[in-house]
Structure formats: C-alpha cells, structure tokens
Chains A and B, each alone.
Chain A
C-alpha cells in the first residue's frame, strides 16, 4: 500500500492525540488506535516503513508505530 498515504494517516491520528494530551499518553493512544482500527498488513507496512527510516512520520507517530512493532 502507499506508504506515503499510510504515513499521512498515522500523522493525522498522532496529531489529534498530541493536541489532547501529554506526549507519552498521545503515543500510547495512537498505538492503540492503530492496533484497533488498522488491518495487520497496514500495520506491518507502516512498521517496516518506520524501521527503514520513516522520514515522513512525525515524532509521536513514529514512536507509536515503533511501539506497534
């Protein structure tokens, strides 16, 4: 799947939670959201992307994706 698009989606999710809570809680909430709503192949792809550098991911999004893996 288009990793650019997946990264954008992950960033949007992280942005919502970052605006609402402290960083650590936002990371956890983003991870939970990805686990609850993203199908495994999407999660695998974004995790691979993050492992490979994932330059388009924001700080909180990256941390959340790493926690997924």
Chain B
C-alpha cells in the first residue's frame, strides 16, 4: 500500500528532450516523448483506472483496466503500455470502454472478498477504489470456484500475505525484480491455479525475501499489509524524515495515527532512495519505544555502585562539576568528548563546540576514526576534499563497477539495488574481497572478476592493477596532463612500473592469480565510465590511507573523475558519519575540514564563539584510551557511541574507561560503555529529533521529529545544558539556528538552511554561492585542491602475520538485518534473522580442526579470545575466517588488536591472526526464544 499522500502517475517518467503533443479527451497535452498515455493523462489531471500500473515500476499491461480508444486505431490498447504519439486523439471514456472496464472489475471482484468494510487497507485499497470508479454495482457471476479458502502467510515478522485478497497484478513480483533486484517472488502456476509465491511453494520466511517491503508498498489491495497497520489502524498523517541507520540516508515518510507511528514508508520523491528502502529503515524502528529505553538521568560515584536516578539538573551539575574538578587537578587536556555518528549535524556540532569552547581543548573525535578516517586523509590529500566524488545515482551511468572491501547488499542495500539494476543493464563488475560476497553471483548479476585476496593485501592488488594500466599503455595521459601534478605523476609512474608491483609479483602474497588481476585492470581501464565503490574492507587496515590513495591513483590515471558514472565512492556506514566529520568532529579540524592551526580561520570561530581556541590538534579516540592508561586523560563525554563494544581490543578499551574519573554517556540505552559511566544522560532516537543528517554522497537531508523526546530533552538541548553548567553559554531556540551558525562559519555549507531543505528536499554540499542548489559531482574540470596528487603507494605488509600459534586471518563485516553493534536492531523483530554472530570457516580449515557446522569454537588472538558457533562455508577462502559484530555476547572485538592505519589510527579490524579450535567451554547465552521475546517488547505493552 502506498503512502497516504502519494500521487501515483501510473508509469515512470520519460526523460526525452523531445516533446510530443497529443489530444486526450479533447484536451491538448504536451509531454516528453516516450511517456505513456496513462501518465500523460494523469499529468493533465485525467485519471484512467488502473490496477497493475504504478509509476514505481515499468508498465505491464496485464489488468486491462486502463484501456482507451485511439482515433484511427483498432481495439482498446492499454494506456500504460502505449506511448504517446504526435497528433493522436485519445478517448479515456465512452460506453464501450467503460463497459469493458466494468467487465474486468467484475472478474476481479468475483474472486475477492466483497465487503469493502472487511478491507484492511482502510480507504486506500485500490481495488475497491477502482470498483467504485468504474461504477461496478452488481456481480453477475454466481458463487463458484474461488481462492477464498487460502491461508494467510504470517511468517514474516513485519508483514502478512493474504492470498485471498491477491488480484495477481504482479506488482509485488515486479517490485521485487525491478526495484529490489532479489527476484524472490513469482506467479506460480497458470490460469485459475495462478498464485503469488515467494520462492517455490515457500512461505515468506523460508524464501529468499530480504524483507525490504517493496512488495508491500506496491500491493494495490490488502493482500500484502504491514502488521503495524493491521495492529494500529491506518495512518492519518505523514512527516518526512531521514532514516537513522546506514549511510545511504533514505528519505522516509513516517506515517502516524495520532502520535503513534504506524509505519515508515520510503518517500517516493526523496533522494537518494527514490521510494525504496531496506528492512531496517522500513521496519526496524520499534527500538525507539522499547522498554530498554533509559529515560531518566542517573549518576553514581564509582562504576561499581548501582545507578541512582536523579533530576536533570542534578545530573548535569554533577557532570559539570566533575569535569571542572578533573581539569583543575590534571590539566585542561585531561578531558574530551566523542561525538555521535547517529546524532544530527546540529547535535554533533554542539558536542565539538562544547569540547573546544567549554573544555578549552581539541580532544574531540568521532567514530569515523574507526571506520572511514583514511577516506578523509586519502581523498583530501589526493583531490582536496575528504568525501565521495559522486552521488548514488551516478552508478546509473557506470559501465564498469569496482566493489572493493564493501558488501553493499548487506551494508548499503538500497544503493545495492540501484547498482544491481545497472548491472542487469549490462555494466561489468569487479569484486575485490576476501569473501565471496553476494554480489559475486546472484540472480542476474555475476562478477566478471572476483579477486579473492588475502586480508591485508589491498595495496598490493591496487598497485598491480595500476602496473598493468601503465605498462600496457592504458593511461589517460591527457587527463593527467590537464589535471594532475606532473612531477608527482612521473615519480609514481616510475615506481608503479617496477616489476615488484606486477601482478606476477603479488600473486603469492595476495592469493590472486596474476591473470585475474591483469584482466580486472584492463576492464577497469577500458570503461568508458569506471567507478570504484569501497568500504571498511579498504580503510580498516594498517595501510588504509595508502589504499585510498592507491584507488585515487587508479581513478586519476584512467581519467575516471569529474563526471557521472565514475569516481571514488566511499560507502560510509552510518547515517551521519559524513555529517559528523563535516561539522568538525576531528581533533585537528574545525568545520569544513579546516586545520585548527589556520589562524585566520580560527579567529573567525573565536569571534563567533566568543572565546580563544586551542591551536593544537587534540587526542584521537585511540590516543584518549592510551592517555587514560597513563593517567593524563581522566574525563570523557560520549554521545551516542558504544566504544566498549565497537572499538578494537576490548580489554584495552575497558581498562582505559575504567581508569577515568568521570565518564558521561548520553545514549538511548544503557549500552556496554555505560558500564563504565558515572553519569548517564538519556538521549533521543531519530524519531524524536529535529535536525539534519548527511549521507555518504554528501547529501544533507532533513530529520523531523514525529514524537517529543521521551526523556524530556532533545540531545542538542542536553549538550547546551551541560555547556551552560560548565560555564560556556549555549543558547539556541531551535536546531535551525545551529545550522545557520554552521552555514555562517563554513564556506562549503554557506548556502544551507532549513528553508532551502524544505524547498529542495535535500542538498549535496558544497552548497554555497557558486552552487546554490548543491553539488552532485565533484572535481568537474579541476580538483578542489587544483592539481590532483598521484602519490607513491608502496605496499607494506601488515605487522599482523599468521604464525604457527595463530595460523588463520580473521576479518569482520556486517549483515543486512543488523546494524553495527546491534544496539538498535537487536531490540526489533530483526533479531529473529540473526540471533548470534557466527564464525564462517572454510571446509578445509574446519576439517583440519575437527569442526563441524554448528559446533562451538574458540577464536583466539594475541589480544583475547571469544566463543562462537561455527558456520562451515566456502564463502571464505582457506586461511580466512569471518564474523560479524552485532551481539555484545560474542565480543568480536575482544580478539581484534591495536594495529592501526599509519595516517589516522583507524584500527586494523580486518586483519587479525587467530586460531580457531573446537571448545567444550560453552558460554551461557540467552536462548533464541528469550532473545526474540526481549527484542519485541514495546513501551506500554
């Protein structure tokens, strides 16, 4: 069922520059060539009845309800599949057409529950709407064979399928094919025996359905319905907001009945998702009203004491007094803060402002430290801007797509759907990953090359690809001459041509056949439009920044920058990690990535903020922990981050947090980090926020609250309270004023305002006088820094080596239904799909160790050990094991080490030497039933 206030024009828009004029019901209508008659009529406010057509899907022509008459043509063509033609005269009504439509509706209604009051879609059922529209008043067919005895498929936790309501319009099947690209649904059987079927006579739960909800949204009847609509009733109003999960940043309509959210429907007009979503954004929002929500401020003197609920003022004053005491005793630099990549730009800006202005130092950092900080360093060094070069829609113009160290079908599913559509159209695919991720081979998608490299050898492979491009004369010399530093290019060219960078030389270390590397390189160079998409499998390495530079080199030497279809595209994991970086969360930069040492720029901030600022870079998160252990860092204000679970080497992090004298955690749940906190300040979910998020394509999108903050204050207000108590006044009436301040101080944001966001929906920065509507593709014509830098990227093997004691390499990643450390998704019905983190192990490695599928195994590194169930699979190569990190009980980060990227200290999560052995020491873990029951509770139930 579509959103309550969506207007559907029937078929997708055509984008021809040529215009066609025709006549519909006596009215002259002009539309782009290729537009369907149905859409042309709708644009002229002439509605043609329809059931199988929706503008989200290609026209299908099956329901025959949308028939029209065209003067001079025989028959009654379907208006959805008939394109406009110059001068044609169309009649959408008339006795014969209307009679035929009523006959069609009679047939539909003869096999459908007749009472419209039984319809669970409320007034939104298109079948009943069309029945009324065509004037169906009687049913001439006697009772006979029908499908009204079929059983409801209730197996999906979020929606049900009632086949008695299904009219076999195939919208759901087509949505699963065209929009999502999973091809999980089909119309099984022929004629009267036809039935919509997930998989082969399977229930939804057993099928390949990924619960994106596209079928539910496409369904014109109440056959496919969200369970929350069935439970709570139809929505009455909608609020546009932005998803609080991954870095795609889908635009949603939060539909409400009263003050209660009924469902989240992807905003058809919203970017970048064009009306699509994944299971998390669409369905997994129940955590916002989970009973685990900690809604009262709490304090305790020691972390071994029980929590005591107190008033807001007592908690804030206690926190402020402790920070002041610690600074007085240990120095100004003894405290700091960590901003949240889940909070809004405005909230994050205030936390870094508090640290700089109220604490008086630059000890502020963000979780990008542990994920994409190498992106910031590498892309800023090479191009001048530490962000992706394109928008997500750019992939629609790509001819060759490289996916390296990323798993978009799991981590960025809506972008993956857009990419898969392009791949089905014929784009070529190169996957560089230690695992056979889903993209390597899935329905209608197959990678031309899967370079299944050993963890830790990204730079070797990227250099080898560049070696082929240079030695085989595939370089775009013209692009380099126009746009890149010639001296640096010459130095790099000499380096990369050396035999030690050849595919043959890196074959053994990487585990990738030289021929595959060469083939992939030639394919990338051939393009004509080649794009690179990458994730944490690139950045979370000791050579993360080097790998980003190596990818930038590849793009520059082949001329794949500065237009749609190309680029270097970081797939940022979190809803606002880009934004957190943009608004000054790094210890060495103020907003807009300007170094704190820049005196002129710093003076502007000092004037605006009314205080002197420290000119020296502050501590990064790993440095904070090191400094805590040596006693020089004693206080931390953490908003919306769970470092005790997300950061590497858990024992080290726990020891550091335990060594501090004041830890303030501001969050929506009592997370793992809160175990080490002295003050807990209850935070707000995205449903309770007003502000903006910035996604991976630099798109600033509005976040609008649908409920008041359950704890009484919005996160930005809490930070203001704390700052005021610390003696640095912060007075804002609304988050829009915070954004106005960011815009005043930040040249790349100077054109951003809430008024503009309301008007345009969203903007991609830079948004300023030069680009008032924002910037889709960067570095057009020239790089932001002027000349691009092609730098030498020597491959340096990581220190993390396998040994007799630790002979396997562990790498980690994400799964579709869970998000990061699972704080949100483990408190939703999504938990059913991932009750625990598993250890993927290759059959050879498993056999050598006597491990069977499902056995408990101990995974041990030099940092620590944890216990997981084994999953024997050939998705990983021999010598490599893999797990996710969504459950605190499995403690994947207990085993990860302190190794980090040379430039940014981004932890090397993706390479840990481990041993895996069967174990009889079975940990006590909750049962599946306990986990599911705990997850599905809601406040008030």
Q: Which residues of chain A have a CB within 8 Å of any CB of chain B?
A: 1-2, 5, 9, 12-13, 15-16, 19-21, 33, 36-42
Contacts and interface: CB of A to CB of B under 8 A. Distances in A.
A13 B902 contact: yes
Nearest to B362: A39
A15 B902 contact: yes
Contacts of B626: 1-2, 5
Contacts of A19: 792, 794, 796
Nearest to B901: A12
Interface string B603-627: 0000000000000111110010011
Contacts of B333: 39-41
B445 to A, nearest CB: 37
Interface string B572-616: 000000000000000110000001010000000000000000001
Closest 9 CB pairs of A and B: A19-B794, A12-B902, A20-B792, A1-B626, A39-B619, A40-B616, A1-B630, A13-B902, A39-B618
Nearest to A2: B626
A37 B617 contact: yes
B632 interface: yes
Interface residues of B, number: 31
B902 A16 contact: yes
Contacts of A21: 491, 792
B871 to A, nearest CB: 35
Interface string B868-907: 0000000000000000000000000000001010111100
Contacts, number: 64
B398 interface: no
B363 interface: yes
A38 B546 contact: no
Given A13-B903, A20-B791, A39-B616, A5 B898 contact: yes
A67 to B, nearest CB: 17
Contacts of B904: 37
Interface string B542-568: 100010000000000000000000000
A46 B58 CA distance: 64
Contact of B627 (A16, A36, A41): A41
B37 to A, nearest CB: 62
Contacts of A38: 617
A39 B491 contact: no
25 contacts: A1-B626, A1-B627, A1-B630, A2-B629, A2-B630, A9-B900, A12-B796, A13-B902, A16-B902, A19-B796, A20-B791, A20-B792, A20-B794, A21-B491, A21-B792, A36-B588, A36-B597, A36-B617, A37-B588, A37-B617, A37-B904, A39-B362, A41-B333, A41-B627, A41-B632
Contacts of A12: 542, 796, 902
Contacts of A42: 619, 623
A39 B796 CA distance: 26
A15 B796 contact: yes
B595 A36 contact: yes
A36 B381 CA distance: 13
Interface string B624-648: 0011011010000000000000000
B692 to A, nearest CB: 28
Contacts of B616: 39-40
Nearest to A1: B626
A12 B632 CA distance: 25
A15 B543 CA distance: 11
A16 B903 contact: yes
B22 to A, nearest CB: 63
Interface of B: 333, 362-363, 491, 542, 546, 587-588, 595, 597, 616-620, 623, 626-627, 629-630, 632, 791-792, 794, 796, 898, 900, 902-905
A40 B618 CA distance: 8
A24 to B, nearest CB: 15
Given A1-B630, A9-B900, A20-B794, 19 more contacts: A1-B623, A2-B629, A2-B630, A5-B898, A12-B902, A13-B903, A15-B794, A16-B794, A16-B796, A16-B902, A16-B903, A36-B595, A37-B588, A39-B363, A39-B618, A39-B623, A41-B627, A41-B632, A42-B623
A21 B490 CA distance: 12
A42 B625 CA distance: 13
A40 B587 CA distance: 12
A12 B905 CA distance: 11
A36 B623 CA distance: 15
Contacts of B542: 12
A21 B542 CA distance: 20
A17 to B, nearest CB: 9
B460 to A, nearest CB: 13
Contact of A39 (B617, B629, B791, B794): B617
Given A36-B595, A39-B333, A20 B491 contact: yes
Contacts of A36: 588, 595, 597, 617
A63 to B, nearest CB: 17
A8 B597 CA distance: 25
Nearest to A10: B902
Contacts of A13: 902-903
A11 B794 CA distance: 14
A6 to B, nearest CB: 9
A33 B617 contact: no
Contacts of B792: 19-21
B56 to A, nearest CB: 47
Nearest to B633: A41
B941 to A, nearest CB: 49
**Residue among B595, B597, B616 with the highest chain A CB neighbour number at 10 A:** B616
A10 B258 CA distance: 59
B905 A9 contact: yes
B730 to A, nearest CB: 25
Contacts of B597: 36
Contacts of A9: 900, 902, 905
Contacts of A15: 794, 796, 902
Contacts of B900: 9
A16 B546 contact: yes
Nearest to B795: A19
A42 B616 CA distance: 12
A33 to B, nearest CB: 7
A48 to B, nearest CB: 13
A60 to B, nearest CB: 13
Contacts of B791: 20
Contacts of B629: 1-2
Nearest to B361: A39
